[in-house]
Structure 1
Amino acid sequence: MRTIKVEHQKGHEIVGEHLLQQIREGHLEPGQKLPSVVELAAAYGVGRSTIREAVSALKAMGWVDVRQGGGTYVKSVLPSEPRSGADLLFQGAESLVELLEVRKVLESGAASLAAERRTEQDLERMRDALSLMEHGLNVNDTAEGERADVAFHMAIAAASGNSLLIQMMESLSDRLNASIQKSRELWFYKEQSTASRLLKEHQAIFAAIEQQDKELAGAGIAAHLTKVEQVLRAALEKESGSGRD
């Protein structure tokens, strides 16, 4: 595999674009395992955090799979083309934090509307997501936990009954999945206690929606996402510092 040396303020974007080029040109084939983070960092001349950000972006765009404890692999079936230019907006750590800020605005309103308008079918959809989230926690299946997390938040949007809000959340679905995966990777699943706390926060949001408490539902999801944002900022700063060593 051909590599380049990188010296740039946003090196993760350059690394990500180069790795994508390697995949498109066949230098990295479908199903092939990428070199380790340490090896890529040495090859590109950047810190490990830069490599992680580049890989996270490629994962969000559907080009690679990251297997916990098993490395990173090129997708067996590749996208026919990049999903959209909007994906490039969410490559960096700062963009993930900005996405959380957008989510707070959208989802706190969605939760308030959901508390007012939810149907029994909406509640059942949320219960199913919470059940899967709990199962993923019990069997330490982070992928299942991530999917259930996304499903829960999308169920809240659906319960709002606002078609424009639902469309906005659906348009962010890929980036939503990436932000949840990144926050869990950095913090929630490092300790069982923090993962349990995450589940309890989701259960409390559900309880407020079920009880049709608009204020509590909106405040609950805003507080939850604020915690995630704070943890993500701290973890990324720490990771960035270690990557410069």
Structure 2
Amino acid sequence: MAGISAVEDIRSVLSREIVDAYSPGQFLPNERELAERFGVARNTIRETMIHLEAFGLIEKTRRGARVRQADFDPVFQIFAQHFDSSPDRLEDVLNFRRLTETGAAHFAVRHVDDAVLDRMRLANDRMATAVTVAQAASHDYDFHLGLIEAARNDMALRMYRVMGVTLRFYLEIGKSQHSDTQTAHAQHARIIDALQARDHAALCAALHDHFDHSGLVLAANRSAGTPG
């Protein structure tokens, strides 16, 4: 291995190992050990560590490179700066939510527990009483994240968290009018009731009504020319 190719190859190997074999707080082998393992200079390992740190996989300490708790927000915040906020793209985000959450409904009614329901109720009430649009959108996101958590599908949960920055950005659009927020609060309550009753048909109906309302809010903002 040599040069840029070496850094990319080593980064790929170590990224997989960090996910598969390490827990947050554990330390990677030191630079000398890694250089010997991969047959490269220590400068190549240092550059690889810079990449791994930029991706949020490790943090540098006096004792060496320590594995971090997975956190996708820093990467996605960079992406969000270049997010296409055109009406068509925002409609895609709404439909992503519709596909993900209605797909999760079947599993959510089977696995939901009281702890998740309590978190969803709290998030819903905080959304309704939030002082700022950003706070309301954040609590709205937490509510819907609870539905994904209830499904107990790790891949779906990771994807929803990865999309968190973009979803909160989108959810702010529906918080500019108090009446829309109150409507969402009532619709959320229906979703919670259906989840608590373990009623799949009622949950799907409540979700469809909620996303239809979100679509109308999005269309109204598009007609009014409200910027993203």
Q: Flag whether TM exceeds 0.5 (same fold).
A: yes
Q: Please list, as runs of the form range in 1=range in 2, the aligned pairs for 1:188-207 lying within 5 A after superposition.
A: 189=177, 192-207=178-193
| Partner SS state of residue 88, structure 1 | coil
Q: Please list, as runs of the form range in 1=range in 2, the aligned pairs for 1:9-28 lying within 5 A after superposition.
A: none
Structure of greater relative contact order (alpha carbons < 8 Å, 6+ residues apart): 1
Aligned residue for 2:55? Answer: none
Aligned residue for 2:175? Answer: 184
Q: Does the 8 A contact of 1:97 with 1:233 survive in 2?
A: no
Aligned residue for 1:34? Answer: none
Q: Does the 8 A contact of 2:101 with 2:148 survive in 1?
A: yes
Cα deviations by residue, 1:71-103 (Å, 9 ceiling, x for unpaired): xxxxxxxx9887455763533222111110111
CA distance in 1, matches of 2:171, 2:146: 15
Q: Does the 8 A contact of 2:128 with 2:181 survive in 1?
A: no
Aligned residue for 1:117? Answer: 111
Q: CA deviation at 1:167?
A: 1.4
Match of 2:195 among 201, 204, 209: 209
Match of 1:238 among 215, 224, 228: 224
The verdict on how the C-alpha distance between 1:110 and 1:90 changes in structure 2, with shifts beyond 3 A counting, is farther
What amino acid is the match of 1:173? Answer: G
CA distance in 2, matches of 1:152, 1:80: 22
Match of 2:154 among 122, 143, 163: 163
The verdict on how the C-alpha distance between 1:151 and 1:123 changes in structure 2, with shifts beyond 3 A counting, is same
CA distance in 1, matches of 2:144, 2:134: 16
- How high is the TM-score relative to the length of structure 1? 0.56
Extract unaligned runs of 5+ from structure 2: 1-72
CA distance in 1, matches of 2:75, 2:160: 22
Q: Please list, as runs of the form range in 1=range in 2, the aligned pairs for 1:50-199 lying within 5 A after superposition.
A: 83-85=77-79, 88-136=82-130, 140-185=131-176, 189=177, 192-199=178-185
What amino acid is the match of 2:158? Answer: Q
What amino acid is the match of 1:200? Answer: A
CA distance in 1, matches of 2:127, 2:74: 32
Q: Percent identity?
A: 21
